[in-house]
Amino acid sequence: MQGRPDIFWWRLFQRALLGSACALMLQPVWAGDALVSVSHPLAAEAGALALSQGGDAVDAAAAIQFALNVVEPQSSGIGGGAFFLVYRAATHEVYALDAREVAPAADRADQFGAMNFDQASTRGIAVGVPGTLAGVEALRQRWGKLSLAAALAPAQHYARDGFLITPYLAHALQSPRLEHDPAARALTHGADGKPLQVGQRWRQPALAHAFELIAREGVTAFYRGAIAKAVVAAQQDRQVDAAGAGRMTRDDLAQYQVAWRTPLEYPYRGYRLVTMPPPSSGGVAMFQVLGMLERFHPGQTPGLDLGDPEEVRLTIDAMRLALADRARWMGDAPAGVTIPVTQLLSPAYLKQRSQRLNRHQRLAQATAVDTPEGLHTTHFSVVDHEGNVVCVTTTVEALWGTGILVPEYGFFLNNEMTDFNLRPRASASDPGINDVRPGHRPRSSMMPTLLFHGDRWVGAYGSPGGVSIISTVLEMTQDMLDGGLSAGHAIRRPRFAVMDAEGHTLVEDALPPFLVQTLRQQGDLVEPSPIPLGSVQWVGVDEATGRREGAADPRREGTVLRIPEH
Ligand code: GLU
């Protein structure tokens, strides 16, 4: 020890830590720590700042969302839509807020004509009326303690003074989606005509100006004022051919409404999972899979491990059956049609579907296939000192949405309308639930999810990734509840994602080759995933210690910040 006082002090510090860890088991002294888990460090800092100023979890969520619009604009922002799940510690209530984009009044089921996804998703006609700002404001009005200006301040600062481009953003800046719209190109490319690079400072003065206006005039500037006018012009005039012009009007923006929905719940292995109901398809699909697999006792079969080919076989085929139901039943149902959620989740139905599964043999057919979706989006989770939780999946759909920038205000417009059926499906035998309908929301896979043990909240998580979200959140849930892994461990496990009822399955490189080979031999349509699958941001409670813990996905620039209670 002599000559190394640093080690001495370190040991003392460790002992003190150990002491407090023991005390922890008797009384949860850390229970009041607040946490944010976000896919970008600067956005995490914005949330932490709100919490350290005495803000509620919803204030932190607002600050994070605005900051993400600046530092991760390829995935979410005020030009897009979001789902928010909120848990209030004092009442034990969960609220589900749907701030998804809606179809303009002039939109029609056949509006995409013969366009494929790539053609449709870069045009004005793919833009839905954005909901994210209305969603943030609805949360703040109900539970917020800080002003809208306070929530916007860090984002304004990042946009005005600039921030250093991280590797994940630099990669996104290479996207061909930024090549079509001259305004988007000018914002994202340097004087040399090349996309901005990692380590360069990126300033977004037009976006800073938008936030200043919103801070001064409130969200009405966006839905009824100068910004509304600019949004309508951008989706009408740019990047269009005759069929591609957006149909959104100022009335559509003025009439935008968030929807408070009844959260969807499912009991599983002594826990309670709570997530988004339709128009998200994610919760119903995940609960169906868990229900179909329960009789196989996942994670408990002697000799079988998680990631074992037999368990993966069952999961893939159960997902295919769930995705077949999703294609037919999930969406924002037209008047007069009820989505049969109760039937789809009934034990009798799931038992019957489950009879088709076999550990050793691939399911021959599951029907119904869907059009592709974006894989980008972003998820973040927050718990404040009082234990209130906000769990958010937020999107502009594809990477950079349509790639159309609102030039005066510096934000990108979503292409969420391509989450509707590109071709109408309604017929005598199919209600066409996800056909484009004015005022309706496109089907989503986004599924911010809360986990409870009895009455106690123990976790908040979710992921981006379009339809792959369902596999990512499902695998997290299986790894934690069937496999007993911590959230941090579960996040690091390699993933696979079932993309449709035919069974097209994306796999990450780190998945054991033996597993991939077995699946291929069984006839699975396995492809290496072009990008890492998902990006899970978790906050929760370590049940052994009572301590709040966060975990963030290393696949992006996930960051957890702890704000100790004082
Ligand atoms: N638009 C997709 C959805 O709502 C999300 C896209 C993504 O995760 O990148 O389900």
* pLDDT score of 28 more than 60: no
Share of the chain above pLDDT 70, in %: 91
pLDDT of residue 239: 57
The two tokens of residue 197 are 């690079």
Task: Judge whether 521 lies within some domain.
Answer: no
DSSP-assigned states of every residue in 61-104: HHHHHHHHHHHSTTT-STTSEEEEEEEETTTTEEEEEEE--B--
What is the whole-number distance in angstroms between the Cα of residue 127 and the centre of ligand 1? 14
CA distance 441 to 102: 5
| Spatial contact of 538 and 459, defined as CB atoms under 8 Å apart | yes
Mutual orientation of helices 226-237 and 205-217 as an angle, nearest 10°?
Answer: 140
Residue 447: helix, strand or coil by DSSP?
coil
14: Cβ contacts below 8 Å, ≥ 6 apart: none
Pocket test for ligand 1, best of 399, 446, 471 (most atoms within 8 A of CB): 446
User: Which residues in 120-140 are b (16+ Cβ under 10 Å) and which e?
Assistant: bbbbbbbbbbbbbbbbbbbbb
3-state secondary structure of 432: coil
Q: Identify the CA nearest to 284 among candidates 230, 248, 323.
A: 323
For residues 94 and 261, the answer to whether their CB atoms sit within 8 Å is: no
CA 400, chain centre distance (Å): 15
End-to-end CA distance of the chain: 34
Looking at the 3D structure of the chain, how many domains does it have? Answer: 1
Alpha carbon dihedral 186, 187, 190, 194, in 10-degree steps, equals -70
Q: What is the pLDDT of residue 478?
A: 94
**DSSP letter, residue 146:** S
Which band of pLDDT confidence, cut at 50, 70 and 90, is reported for residue 430? confident
Cα 374 to ligand 1 centroid, rounded to whole Å: 6
Has residue 22 got a pLDDT over 80? no
The neighbour count for residue 363, using CB atoms within 10 Å, is 19
Token readout for 256 is 């935008």
What distance in Å separates the CA atoms of residue 105 and residue 421, rounded to the nearest whole number? 17
Residues 141-160, mean pLDDT to the nearest whole number: 98
Residue 226 lies in a domain: yes
The ligand 1 atom at the shortest distance from the C-alpha of residue 398 is 9
Ligand 1 centroid to 112 CA: how many Å?
19
In a domain, 173, yes or no: yes
Closest ligand 1 atom to the C-alpha of 468? Answer: 8
* Nearest alpha carbon, ligand 1 atom 5: 466
Angle at alpha carbon of residue 191, lines to 185 and 195, rounded to 5°: 45
| pLDDT tens profile 521-541 | 999 999 999 999 999 999 999
Rounded to two decimals, the pTM is 0.93
Position in ligand 1 atom list of the atom nearest CA 281: 10
Question: According to the model, what pLDDT value does residue 368 have?
Answer: 67
Please report whether residue 178 resides in a domain.
yes
Average pLDDT for 421-431: 91
If you average pLDDT over every residue of the chain, what do you get? 91
Task: Pick the residue whose CA is nearest to atom 7 on ligand 1.
Answer: 466
Please check whether residue 333 lies inside any domain of the structure.
no
Q: Is residue 245 part of a domain?
A: yes
Residue 371: which of 81, 118, 104, 103 has the closest Cα?
118
Q: Is 218 left (phi over 0), alpha (psi -120 to 50) or beta?
A: left
Looking at residue 414, its pLDDT comes to 98
Please check whether residue 549 lies inside any domain of the structure: no
Token pair 């988004």: residue: 276
Identify the residue whose C-alpha is closest to ligand 1 atom 2.
466
For residues 489 and 471, what is the distance between their CA atoms, to the nearest angstrom?
Answer: 17
Mutate to test the pocket of ligand 1, among 83, 380, 419, 531 (most ligand atoms within 8 A of CB): 419
CA distances from 264 to 272, 285, 379, 394 (A): 10, 11, 19, 18
Averaged pLDDT for residues 55-76: 98
**pLDDT band at residue 566 under the 50/70/90 scheme:** confident
Task: Ligand 1 pocket test: pick from 101, 379, 397, 434 the residue with the most ligand atoms within 8 Å of its Cβ.
Answer: 397
Q: Could you tell me the two tokens for 120? A: 């449709």
The Å distance, Cα 205 to ligand 1 centre, comes to 28
Pick from 518, 527, 517: nearest CA to 496: 527
Q: List the residue whose alpha carbon is closest to atom 6 of ligand 1.
A: 466
Which domain range does residue 141 map to? 30-256+394-419
Q: Is residue 430 part of a domain?
A: no
Cis peptide before 279 (omega within 30 of 0): yes
The two three-digit tokens of residue 134, written as one number: 């209305």
The 10s digit of each residue's pLDDT in 243-264 is 799 999 999 999 999 999 999 9
Report whether pLDDT(300) > 50: yes
Q: How far apart are the C-alpha atoms of 22 and 362, rounded to whole Å?
A: 50
Return the active site residues.
377
CB–CB of 254/418 below 8 Å?
Answer: no
pLDDT tens column, 342-384: 999 999 999 999 999 999 999 998 876 666 566 679 999 999 9
* Ligand 1 atom having least distance to the Cα of 377: 9
**Which candidate, 103, 124, 30, 77, places its Cα nearest to that of 547?**
30
Dist. CA 499 → ligand 1 center (Å): 13
Using the mean position of ligand 1's atoms as its centre, give its distance from the Cα of residue 145 in Å: 30
Which ligand 1 atom minimizes the distance to the CA of 399?
Answer: 9
**What distance in Å separates the CA atoms of residue 423 and residue 166, rounded to the nearest whole number?**
38
Nearest atom in ligand 1 to 75's CA: 9
**pLDDT at residue 237, as a whole number:** 85
Q: Is the pLDDT of residue 411 over 80?
A: yes
Query: Which residues form the pocket of ligand 1, taking CB atoms under 6 Å from any ligand atom?
Result: 373-377, 395, 397, 416, 419, 444-446, 464-466, 469
Ligand 1 centroid vs 397 CA: distance in angstroms? 5
